[in-house]
Amino acid sequence: MYIIIVGCGRLGSTLGTRLSKEGHDVAIVDRNADNFARLSDEFNGTTVAGVGFDIDVLRSAGIEHADGFAAVTEGDNMNIMAAQVAKNIFKVPMVIARVFDPVKGETYRALGLDTVCPTTSAANIIYSRFLIRHDDMHFVLPGDNIELVEVACNSAIPARTVGEVEALDDFKVISVTHDGNTVLAKAGDVLAEGDRLMLAVHFSDVPRLNTIFRR
């Protein structure tokens, strides 16, 4: 893939280096050329000094044949403007903008712009850590609304099959681990004490999940 990253701060430099190491062609744009010093010696892509939403700058970075575009500067407005140029003018297939303000993130997501909000993600993760046992696996999916949580079956749960677990609330069982073997879940699968379930749960349902599986 050919990927353009706008912003060479800690996130942009780390992301660019990782993608470059994995064999992708990467160009990084930053208005301050001094920031390119953040890049690891393992980065073998190109750097372009300039404003991330300037059409001429983006053309010089090769945006006309880019497969992906990420705007990850420290400024929400800069990221949104750059992402809109990439999406609406150059029709880049995959465009992502980092937005710190959750309200802006929701607004632009509703308008079709793919945004990642580290503020909301961090708040959700910390909140969930208070509710979910530390030995459980836990992931927040992009969009900040759906979480994957691993829970253990026990005799107090009023359900004996995957289908009955899903009927308890708005849960979706993804997989079941029994005696160290993990399989994709089917509604009729019978559960045993100690089985581990990977559930997809809406963020607002985490307290309910905690009540059901922690009694």
User: Mind listing the pLDDT tens digit for each residue in 123-160?
Assistant: 665 655 555 554 555 566 655 577 788 888 887 788 88
Say if residue 95 is in the same domain as residue 10.
yes
Number of domains observed in the structure of the chain: 2
Reported as a pLDDT band with limits 50, 70 and 90, residue 215 is very low
Residue 128 confidence (pLDDT): 56
CB atoms within 10 A of CB 170: 13
Three-state secondary structure call for residue 119:
helix
User: Domain range for residue 126?
Assistant: 121-213
Three-state secondary structure call for residue 75:
coil
Q: What is the pLDDT of residues 80-116, one digit of tens each?
A: 999 999 999 999 999 999 988 877 777 777 777 888 8
The two three-digit tokens of residue 18, written as one number:
């990782």
Q: Which of 116, 144, 164 is the last residue of a domain?
A: 116
Q: What is the pLDDT of residues 176-203, one digit of tens each?
A: 998 888 899 999 999 988 898 888 888 7
Say if residue 104 is in the same domain as residue 125.
no
Residue 60 clears pLDDT 70, i.e. is over it: yes
Say if residue 73 is in the same domain as residue 39.
yes
Say if residue 6 is in the same domain as residue 112.
yes
Closest CA to 4 of 87, 78, 68: 68
Partners of 151 in beta bridges: 197
